[in-house]
């Protein structure tokens, strides 16, 4: 019996996903819930588990394809008794080469995503130097290498290597895809067998003629005249997709929907920096990295008790203001794939140590490209720390659906009035952007000064119980 698996809605309401790589091949035996593919949505890279136990009979898309939700992704040869529906159509009941999908077959979210469009997945056009005969000889490789790669740089893979999944981390895979490199072509330099970014750079450099003198870092740089340094191309075009595409759409929607207002406050955070230093020196807190970001996050949760209007959403369709009685605190994280904002669920119920641990976990997961779709939606208020990049202040754009976002600037040692005298103190600038439909200036100011008071004197947190 043939059972088709349709690409499911991954819980984000997104219409499509890109196949990063297949973890199985045609003819492989798979068991229930075995990972079969890595797919990249506009928010994260996720593994798809198999909804069937059986043998892979066909892959309907290749790595790099963009597949619409509800389109056939993979076909399995299964026993009728193993089918969740108990009545999987036979291969002979449909035209040759295709079997109609069973509407009730399970997926990751429910029991089937309704197809949004008929037809096959669309394939991005790629161009490869060389003859048609060469491209037919190595179709998989040809689809992955750079469009301007020298023909002699494309080396056919051994059969044992072709069937083996290249080992690397998600950021490295994203870096390789951005440069049009198939990881199956790269040999890991370390003893672990894991392909690193340096291996990708070395592979790119090896394919660049020695006379050019160009390095991978030179790609896309514009030279003042001629064809570029050493004859290199003067520009690089990167497809707008994944996180960058989603972030751009979300920021434009937010900027032109919610009336943004930003207010600033300079705060003497010397006592907080001392407080953090004392916590780090406490052996009982070994293994917990508590920094000023965690203290600011706790201060935000406490300040939202004072001004709950900033923990709300504007529901245009319903004509209602949604007031949240919990805080899902979004933490903006810069990754190689772009900016994402995973949230700490029920952050207001966590103590300082647990909150610091959750922030560290979110950052690590985001950098690895493993943030779950659930963690990327449902936030109620966000924090962005542009101070780590040496920036003092900014005007952060609201995360869509949220009423406020707090920006943390750099902590700088500055002359400051202290107890009637001038002293060198640790000073930080707080930047609060808010939705003026929901929040008035008075409420925003009260919230910001409450956060500032706690950062100025961490002991004030005790006033909130």
* CA–CA gap between residue 456 and residue 270 (Å, rounded): 7
Sequence ranges of the domains in the chain? 2-77, 244-463
H-helix segments, 189-291: 197-207, 242-255, 270-281
Token representation of residue 459:
């002991």
428 close to 269: Cβ distance less than 8 angstroms: yes
* CA–CA gap between residue 32 and residue 35 (Å, rounded): 9
415: pLDDT strictly greater than 90 = yes
Per-residue model confidence (pLDDT) at position 104: 44
The number of residues in the chain equals 465
What is the rounded average pLDDT of the residues 163-184? Answer: 72
What is the rounded average pLDDT of the residues 208-226? Answer: 43
Per-residue model confidence (pLDDT) at position 192: 60
Q: Which residue, among 52, 71, 66, has the nearest Cα to 9 in the 3D structure?
A: 71
20 close to 38: Cβ distance less than 8 angstroms: yes
* CA–CA gap between residue 143 and residue 135 (Å, rounded): 9
Give the CATH fold of the 2-77 domain.
OB fold (Dihydrolipoamide Acetyltransferase, E2P) (2.40.50)
What is the rounded average pLDDT of the residues 274-303? Answer: 94
What is the rounded average pLDDT of the residues 197-210? Answer: 73
Cα radius of gyration (the chain):
26
Per-residue model confidence (pLDDT) at position 79: 81
Catalytic residue among 147, 151, 418, 436: 436
321 close to 313: Cβ distance less than 8 angstroms: yes
Indicate the pairing of strand 72-77 with strand 66-68: unpaired
308-332 pLDDT tens trace:
999 999 998 888 999 999 999 999 9
* CA–CA gap between residue 255 and residue 252 (Å, rounded): 5
H-helix segments, 79-184: 132-137, 139-142, 159-162, 170-178
Q: What is the mean pLDDT of the chain?
A: 77
| Cα distances (angstroms) measured from residue 384 to each of 42, 249, 250, 264, 413 | 20, 19, 16, 14, 21
**More confident call, 61 vs 40:** 61
Report the range out of 45-49, 199-203, 314-318 with the highest average pLDDT: 314-318
73-96 pLDDT tens trace:
999 998 866 555 444 444 434 444
Q: Which CATH number fits domain 244-463: 3.40.50.300, 3.30.590.10, 3.40.50.450, 3.30.559.10?
A: 3.30.559.10
Per-residue model confidence (pLDDT) at position 165: 56
| Cα distances (angstroms) measured from residue 211 to each of 145, 220, 402 | 21, 18, 53
Helix axes 270-281, 441-456, angle to 10 degrees: 50
Q: Is 325 a catalytic residue?
A: no
Give the H or E element holding residue 322.
strand 320-323
What is the rounded average pLDDT of the residues 126-150? Answer: 40
56 close to 76: Cβ distance less than 8 angstroms: yes
Helix axes 292-306, 270-281, angle to 10 degrees: 120
Q: Which residue, among 220, 215, 214, has the nearest Cα to 201 in the 3D structure?
A: 215
Q: Which residue, among 35, 61, 5, 12, has the nearest Cα to 242 in the 3D structure?
A: 12
Contacts of 413 (CB under 8 A, 6+ apart): 424, 425, 426, 427
Per-residue model confidence (pLDDT) at position 20: 84
Per-residue model confidence (pLDDT) at position 69: 83
In this prediction, residue 114 has a pLDDT band, given cuts at 50, 70 and 90, of very low
Token representation of residue 304:
């939202």
70: pLDDT strictly greater than 50 = yes
Per-residue model confidence (pLDDT) at position 337: 73
Cα angle 313, 314, 317; round to 5: 130
What is the rounded average pLDDT of the residues 110-139? Answer: 43
Give the H or E element holding residue 359.
helix 352-367
Per-residue model confidence (pLDDT) at position 442: 94
Per-residue model confidence (pLDDT) at position 433: 96
Q: Under DSSP, is residue 301 helix (H, G, I), strand (E, B) or coil?
A: helix
**More confident call, 60 vs 45:** 60
Indicate the pairing of strand 2-6 with strand 72-77: antiparallel
249-284 pLDDT tens trace:
777 777 777 889 999 999 999 999 999 999 999 999
300: pLDDT strictly greater than 90 = yes
| Cα distances (angstroms) measured from residue 455 to each of 211, 212, 389 | 57, 54, 20
48 close to 39: Cβ distance less than 8 angstroms: yes
Q: Under DSSP, is residue 202 helix (H, G, I), strand (E, B) or coil?
A: helix
134 close to 36: Cβ distance less than 8 angstroms: no
Per-residue model confidence (pLDDT) at position 216: 43
Per-residue model confidence (pLDDT) at position 390: 93
Per-residue model confidence (pLDDT) at position 166: 67
347-403 pLDDT tens trace:
999 999 999 999 999 988 888 878 877 788 889 999 999 999 999 999 999 988 899
What is the rounded average pLDDT of the residues 226-235? Answer: 62
* CA–CA gap between residue 429 and residue 265 (Å, rounded): 6
Per-residue model confidence (pLDDT) at position 171: 67
Per-residue model confidence (pLDDT) at position 230: 58
The dihedral through the CA atoms of 437, 438, 441, 442 has a sign that is positive
């Amino acid at each position: 019996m043939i059972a088709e698996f349709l690409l499911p809605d991954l819980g984000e309401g997104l219409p499509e996903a890109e196949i990063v790589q297949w973890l199985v091949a045609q003819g492989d035996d798979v068991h229930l819930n075995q990972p079969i593919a890595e797919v990249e949505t506009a928010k994260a890279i996720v593994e798809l588990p198999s909804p069937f136990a059986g043998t892979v009979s066909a892959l309907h898309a290749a790595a790099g394809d963009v597949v619409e939700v509800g389109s056939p992704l993979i076909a399995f040869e299964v026993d009728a008794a193993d089918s969740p529906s108990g009545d999987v159509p036979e291969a002979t009941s449909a035209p040759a080469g295709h079997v109609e999908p069973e509407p009730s077959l399970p997926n990751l979210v429910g029991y089937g995503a309704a197809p949004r469009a008929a037809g096959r997945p669309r394939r991005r056009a790629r161009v490869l130097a060389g003859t048609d005969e060469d491209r037919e000889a190595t179709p998989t490789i040809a689809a992955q290498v750079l469009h301007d790669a020298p023909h002699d740089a494309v080396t056919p893979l051994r059969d044992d290597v072709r069937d083996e999944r290249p080992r690397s981390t998600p950021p490295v895979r994203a870096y390789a895809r951005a440069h049009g490199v198939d990881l199956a072509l790269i040999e890991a330099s370390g003893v672990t067998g894991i392909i690193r970014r340096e291996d990708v750079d070395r592979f790119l450099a090896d394919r660049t003629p020695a006379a050019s003198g160009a390095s991978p870092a030179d790609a896309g740089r514009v030279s003042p005249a001629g064809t570029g340094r050493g004859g290199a191309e003067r520009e690089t075009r990167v497809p707008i997709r994944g996180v960058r595409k989603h972030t751009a759409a979300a920021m434009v929607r937010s900027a032109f929907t919610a009336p943004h207002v930003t207010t600033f406050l300079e705060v003497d955070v010397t006592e907080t920096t001392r407080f953090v230093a004392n916590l780090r020196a406490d052996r009982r807190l070994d293994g917990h990295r508590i920094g000023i970001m965690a203290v600011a996050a706790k201060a935000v949760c406490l300040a939202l008790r004072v001004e709950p209007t900033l923990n709300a959403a504007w529901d245009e369709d319903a004509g209602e203001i949604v007031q949240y009685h919990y805080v899902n605190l979004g933490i903006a994280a810069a990754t190689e794939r772009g900016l994402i904002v995973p949230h700490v669920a029920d952050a207001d119920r966590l103590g300082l140590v647990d909150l610091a641990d959750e922030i560290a976990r979110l950052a690590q997961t985001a950098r690895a490209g493993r943030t779950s779709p659930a963690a990327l939606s449902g936030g109620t208020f966000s924090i962005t720390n542009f101070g780590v990049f040496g920036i003092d202040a900014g005007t952060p754009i609201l995360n869509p659906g949220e009423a406020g976002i707090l920006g943390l600037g750099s902590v700088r040692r500055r002359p400051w009035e202290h107890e009637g005298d001038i002293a060198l103190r640790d000073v930080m600038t707080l930047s609060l952007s808010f939705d003026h439909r929901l929040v008035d200036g008075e409420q925003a100011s009260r919230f910001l000064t409450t956060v500032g008071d706690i950062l100025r004197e961490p002991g004030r947190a005790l006033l909130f119980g």
